[in-house]
Amino acid sequence: MFISENNLAALAGISNYTAQRWAANGVYPSRTLNGVRGFDMEELRDLPEVQSMLESKWEEEREVTPLRQYNSIELFAGGGGLALGMSLAGFHHVLLNEFDTSACKTLKTNKPDWNVIEGDVRHIDFTPLRGKVDFLSGGFPCQAFSYAGKGAGFNDTRGTLFFELARAVQEIQPKVFMGENVKGLTSHENGRTLDTIRNAIAELGYTLVEPRVLKAIMYQVPQKRERLILIAIRNDIAKHVEFHWPAPYERVLTLRDALYKGVIFDRDVPESEGVKYPEKKKRVLELVPQGGDWRNLPEDIAKEYMGGSWLLGGGKTGMARRLSLDEPSLTLTCSPCQKQTERCHPLETRPLTVREYARIQTFPDYWQFQGTMTEKYKQIGNAVPVNLAWAVGRSLIRLFNDIQTTFPSETEDCRDAVQEIIREQSKLVVVKDKATQTSTILQTYKQLNFLDIFDQYADAPIVENTMVQEDMVEYGNGGHVYIDHTKNCFVGLVKKDNMEQYIDKSAKIYYTGKKFPATVALNKLYYFMPYLKGKGIRDLYLIKIARVGTRNEGQESEDKTDFRLVFEIEFVKQLFDDYKLVELKIWHTFTDTTIKEIAMM
């Protein structure tokens, strides 16, 4: 099997120059294939990375399946690279947490059945899940740690997001947990950060598997990306089992494998949105050949393009860089066209599109990213490559199967515990600070006391509206409907047993659940939009009357002591062509907003 000089350099962790010197000096026999210089991998067996690929057990490990359902939680989930890889391996996610709104929308859009909590992890109490979760993971951001404490352990991680990962471990007590980070964490603060993390893991009662930096190109990822993986096993289990790192794929994949039909994808990359170069920059990059950079430019053009960077040391190989179809992509950043880390398309003079970015990270084409184009690039650029996560996930499933064989146990039912956590989170009113990735709690939602409302209003309605235009009733016959976009609109979750009447737009009454937020100003409510579970919102109704009623009002099963808020409603208009998923902000059940704000969601 042939491997080019450049790809061998990426695989073995050496410079391109060293690989070229090996060929020139006959350290390994040189070969040429289609005009590209390289080597026969069989003649490189003394290199550990090459040997592991030649003896790959990738296909064998793909057959690993869980002996039972292993419950998992992921923190700092981002756009879902790690979560999707772990799910493909066989883990059952019971809860995910992410701070960024757009990333949460991505997770919810692609996996509506995942319980995604948007918000600051610092505000989540995980104790209801203690002893119910098998595995916890998270790619925690790396911040400067405090080293004031002599032990440099758990308490010295306070104020960092690793501390929150560790706190979740302490509260949940999973059998195994995993942390993921950039390669640079190994040398951060001269190694003191990693030492602090090691000590903290020991204090938690876990045994850390010797950490490894995994090269994504060894795991069917067409990208030169490296990630540090930390895996820790609870002490009562650790001495009875052994974790085995994943086997690599049989060869190094290239950008050609990402953009065209082949090993990873069953079709060429679909068209998608993407940023564009300014004309001046485009004219410069048109001069750069495939796989080239600023060094391929005429000197006068290079000097002008690079500005002050021309005088700096270093190779500056990320500047004016055009990728090559026959090499893995350089590590993706949060933007495809930053001057210092250029990622120009190999054949066309433009940055990589959103879908091309996603393919290089091995996201499947069905995985749709939400938010602005900038937010999509950021979610993809920050992600763990899906195939890398999948490979590590299979090794973890194998570990859990060994644990299950040694310590047989049943899968715990986490549903009530998860709902308890979600309910507590829904009571919080917070203000986010995107710059610091933190939020401040302002208030909690309070529940409306239906009994007090009933005593106050008796048989009188709380709210009574009239039609704003007489021709509103002509809507079904093609009449025009006037919508006041400034009026308050209440969005409420509809339970499955009541969905049909909302699908055919015949609903006349909406009952709330037992719990209704006292923060909603009932006297200002004007419109109502039903939220159908699994579908979202589409239709607009007028709230004619809001009053207190009882469950199953007027039916034989009516309970006259079970008070509910009742909206008498009338269909006005289908506001969207199809159902639109939006976030229900209050207890994940209600949203109090306006028509104008809904139109902007």
Catalytic residues: 142
Cβ 64 vs Cβ 94: under 8 Å: no
Cα three-residue angle 424-549-521, rounded to 5 degrees: 55
Amino acid identity for residue 320 in this structure: A
φ and ψ at residue 94, rounded to 5 degrees? -100, -20
Contact 45, 65 (CB under 8 A): no
| Sheet strands side by side (includes 2-4) | 2-4, 36-40, 31-33
Please check whether residue 97 is in contact with residue 76, taking contact to mean a CB–CB distance below 8 angstroms: yes
Alpha-helix residue ranges (DSSP H) falling in 382-507 = 386-406, 415-426, 450-457, 499-503
Nearest to 288 by CA among 331, 338, 328, 343: 343
Cα–Cα dist 16/356, whole Å: 26
Distance CA 475, CA 485 (A): 18
> Any idea how long the chain is?
601
Cα–Cα distance measured from residue 48 to residue 44, given in angstroms and rounded to the nearest whole number: 9
Q: Check if the beta carbon of residue 585 is closer than 8 Å to that of residue 493.
A: no
Q: How far apart are CA 133 and CA 94, in angstroms?
A: 8
CA distances from 555 to 496, 499, 508, 514 (A): 19, 19, 16, 18
Report yes or no: 252 and 328 within 8 Å, Cβ to Cβ. yes
β-strand pairing of 525-532 with 463-464 = unpaired
- DSSP symbol at 407: S
Q: Quick one: the chain helix, strand, coil %, rounded to 5?
A: 35, 25, 40
User: Within the chain, how many helices (H) and strands (E) appear?
Assistant: 19, 24
Can you tell me the distance from the alpha carbon of 17 to that of 314, in angstroms, rounded to the nearest whole number?
15
Alpha carbon distances (Å) from 46 to 30, 42, 175, 245, 250: 16, 9, 37, 20, 16
What's the CA gap between 198 and 221, in Å, rounded?
Answer: 29
CA distances from 60 to 176, 247, 399 (A): 23, 9, 15
Compute the radius of gyration of the chain from its Cα atoms: 29
Q: What angle do CA 380, 385, 386 make, to 5 degrees?
A: 105
